[in-house]
Every structure is written in C-alpha cells, then in structure tokens.
Amino acid sequence: MHKYEKIWISLGTASLAIFLIILGISAVHGGHTPAASGIETIHPEHIREDARFSEPGLKEATEGSHDYDLYFIASAFMYEPGEVEIPAGSTVKFHVTSPDVVHGFQVVGTNVNMMAEPGLISTYEMTFDEPGEHLIVCNEYCGVGHADMTSVIKVVNGGTENE
C-alpha cells in the first residue's frame, strides 16, 4: 500500500471516530432518553375499571382553574364521549387510550394528532382560546366502521357540560 493511501485511510478512520464520539457525547449531554421512558400504560381489558376512564369526559384538573383533563376512549368505531363542551380559554390535557385496536385521534384544525394504542395512554396538551366546534376523527384505519368514527369538542363561552 502506498504511503499516501495509508495517510488518507488513517485520516478517514480518525474523522469517523471523532464524529461518533461527538455524536455520543452530544446525545448524553442533551438529556436524550429512550422513547419508552415516561410512557403511561394501562391494561386494555381493565380500562373501564380505572377511575380516570370509568366515565370518560372532561374533569377539572385544579379547583377554580382553567386547566382540564379530558379522557377519551377510542374503541370499535366510536369515541367516548361523543361530544364534550369546554370553556374558551381553557388548557386541556387529552388522555386517550383504546381497549381493542390502534386508532388515530386527530382534532381537525389543531396540532392534536395522536395514536390511541391498546395498553398505552397518549397525552397532549392544548389551549382552546376561540369558541367554535372541533371535529375529532380517527386517522388510522381500524375496520369497516372507521369512516363513522368521530366526536366533537365544542369550545363555548361560559361553563362546561359533559355528555
């Protein structure tokens, strides 16, 4: 092997090693963790036995605040609750799960877009400032009734009412 070939191979190998070391240090230093950490789970067969999902709907997170927890169950071509009202200006933390198959959970016209997977509780937080209606659709094919799988969030001025 020629002298210059050895130099270029050595430089290439050293550059690759330095790149991998920098990548490893930046990943650890940046606080990156595996995706599985912090995931909330629930047994799919016992969702309705869990106090949070026994009566899905809107629940006040803190007494007297505008923070709410909204629990949804996505199952066999329907969402529970089918309709929910929240006051304008509220911050809502969605908690979505499924007892049967993978479903999508998208609030049309917002950034809320999650997967409802059996055994996992997906969460997303959003503030609804403007009154209006927001359609919730399943964007993950889940069977023959998939197209009819919808719910509605009504953002209203004033109090709340769950259905």
pLDDT tens-digit series, residues 82-110: 999 999 999 999 999 999 999 999 999 99
| Residue numbers of the domain that contains 144 | 40-162
CA distance 121 to 124: 10
Whether residues 96 and 131 share a domain: the answer is yes
pLDDT given for residue 162 in this prediction: 45
> Is it the case that residue 58 has pLDDT exceeding 90?
yes
Residue 99 structure tokens: 């007892």
Whether residues 142 and 117 share a domain: the answer is yes
Determine phi and psi for 58, rounding to 5 degrees: -90, 130
- 32 pLDDT band, cuts 50/70/90, is low
Whether residues 118 and 143 share a domain: the answer is yes
When divided into structural domains, the chain yields a total of 2
The full 3-state SS of 44-109, as one line of letters, equals HHHHHHCHHHHCCCEEECCCCCCEEEEEEEEECCEEECCEEEEECCEEEEEEEEECCCCEEEEECC
- 67 pLDDT band, cuts 50/70/90, is very high
pLDDT given for residue 34 in this prediction: 56
Averaged pLDDT score across all residues of the chain: 88
The pTM of the full predicted model, rounded to 2 decimals, is: 0.73
Whether residues 14 and 52 share a domain: the answer is no
Whether residues 22 and 48 share a domain: the answer is no
